[in-house]
Amino acid sequence: MDWNIRGANSLAKRRAIQLFFADKSCNVVCLQETKIAVMTKDLVIEMLEPKFGDNFICLPADGTNGGVLIACTDDFQIAAEPLTAAALHSITGNIVQRSDNTSWAITGVYGPQEEDSKNEFMQELRMIQPLVQDRWMVLGDFNLICTVADKSNTNVNLRLMGQFRAVIQDLELIKYPLIGRRFTWSNERQNTTMTMIDRVFVSKDWDIVLPHFQLAPASSNVSDHCPLILSKMQRRPFKGFRFDASWLHFEDFLPVVQKAWEKPVHSRDAIRALHIKLARVAKALKKWSREKENWAKVSSRLASDIIFQLDLAQESRN
């Protein structure tokens, strides 16, 4: 996931972000404009989940301005790239997928808003490329557009746009098209300005090793930037049993377990009896959890869908 969260320096905002991530099942997350100068494990857990707490790198905010966080679950290992430590507008790390040792470089960016600093930022991207491996992903809020169509009005800096396009071409980066939306940011005013400034780029080598991905938007209900989710197509959902520690907080959890566990087992083999009991408890808990979570998920998705439809409507009328 790639997302400019517009600040996470308050507990309420971090909790709102964590609720957003709860059902997204992301493995690698890049957040921009954290506005946090000293990122800690506790702050990462408050924003995301405990499984991200030990596996992250960050670009500190300048006071409460800027800041980039890249975090991974335990399926991956990430380490900062020391050769790119002098970068001012980005953080670069090396990611290793534990299952098959596939490795690649990732650069999370938060482009400057000041015009004088944009050239410096583009030179920074050129500087990073020779220092990282050929499998490279660059993502984030670039604060730059590639074409006139990336902005909802004609107030466009053609010079900067051309320079940015030249950087992408020179670095031979592949741009993932966003499915379903034209813009990723809105100023949320009556005379609305919208732009496509949030992007995900990959090198040719990255695309060869990790093909068949597509970029989709999510509802922008916490930030004025649209979250972007890069996911592998034709992904098969896990249908097995997974225990959720939050179940322990529900009063009716133990009665469900007890009822399933105490059903008679017609087997004298202790291992077989234990297997049957555990399978019954798992089946009962899966059914119980679906009923328990169904309404919460439906209401959350309805709210997100309404906001997404409003986002789409905003692109076609004031």
Q: Is residue 306 part of a domain?
A: yes
* % of the chain residues with pLDDT over 90: 73
Q: Is residue 316 part of a domain?
A: no
Number of domains in the chain: 2
Q: Are residues 194 and 161 in the same domain?
A: yes
Q: Is residue 260 part of a domain?
A: yes
Rounded CA-CA distance 195/286 in Å is 43
Range of the domain at 13: 2-235
Rounded CA-CA distance 235/16 in Å is 27
Rounded CA-CA distance 311/289 in Å is 32
Residue for token pair 């399926």: 75
What pLDDT is recorded for position 262? 94
Q: Is residue 121 part of a domain?
A: yes
Query: Tokens for 294?
Result: 């169904």
Q: Is residue 86 part of a domain?
A: yes
User: Is pLDDT above 90 for 196?
Assistant: yes
The three-state secondary structure class of 189 is coil
Q: Are residues 162 and 108 in the same domain?
A: yes
Which one of 235, 262, 286 terminates a domain? 235
Query: Tokens for 184?
Result: 């990723």
Q: Are residues 22 and 168 in the same domain?
A: yes
Cβ atoms 110, 66 nearer than 8 A: yes
Which one of 235, 264, 283 terminates a domain? 235
What pLDDT is recorded for position 290? 84
Pairing of strands 90-97, 102-110: antiparallel
Q: Are residues 226 and 250 in the same domain?
A: no
What pLDDT is recorded for position 63? 86
What pLDDT is recorded for position 230? 96
Q: Are residues 120 and 258 in the same domain?
A: no
Q: Are residues 110 and 208 in the same domain?
A: yes
Query: Tokens for 118?
Result: 């944009």
What pLDDT is recorded for position 187? 87
User: Is pLDDT above 80 for 174?
Assistant: yes
Give the model confidence (pLDDT) of 210-266 as tens digits: 999 999 999 867 889 999 999 988 766 777 888 888 889 889 999 999 999 999 998
What pLDDT is recorded for position 318? 76
Q: Is residue 269 part of a domain?
A: yes
Query: Tokens for 203?
Result: 């090198």
Give the model confidence (pLDDT) of 85-109 as tens digits: 999 999 999 999 999 999 999 999 9
User: What is the spatial order of strands in the sheet that 2-4 belongs to?
Assistant: 56-59, 68-72, 28-32, 2-4, 228-232, 213-217
What pLDDT is recorded for position 22? 83
Q: Are residues 7 and 126 in the same domain?
A: yes
What pLDDT is recorded for position 235? 61
Give the model confidence (pLDDT) of 26-70 as tens digits: 999 999 999 999 999 999 999 998 999 999 999 999 988 999 999
For residue 102, the domain's CATH number is 3.60.10.10
What pLDDT is recorded for position 118? 96
Q: Are residues 179 and 276 in the same domain?
A: no
Rounded CA-CA distance 276/180 in Å is 47
Give the model confidence (pLDDT) of 280-318 as tens digits: 999 999 999 888 877 777 888 888 889 989 988 888 887
Q: Is residue 222 part of a domain?
A: yes
Query: Tokens for 63?
Result: 């006071």
Residue 304 contacts by C-beta under 8 Å, 6 or more apart in sequence?
Answer: 218, 219, 221
Q: Are residues 231 and 262 in the same domain?
A: no
Q: Are residues 87 and 211 in the same domain?
A: yes
Q: Is residue 200 part of a domain?
A: yes
Count Cβ atoms below 10 Å from residue 293 Cβ, excluding itself.
Answer: 14
User: Is pLDDT above 80 for 183?
Assistant: yes
Q: Are residues 73 and 185 in the same domain?
A: yes
Which one of 215, 235, 255 terminates a domain? 235
Q: Are residues 206 and 296 in the same domain?
A: no
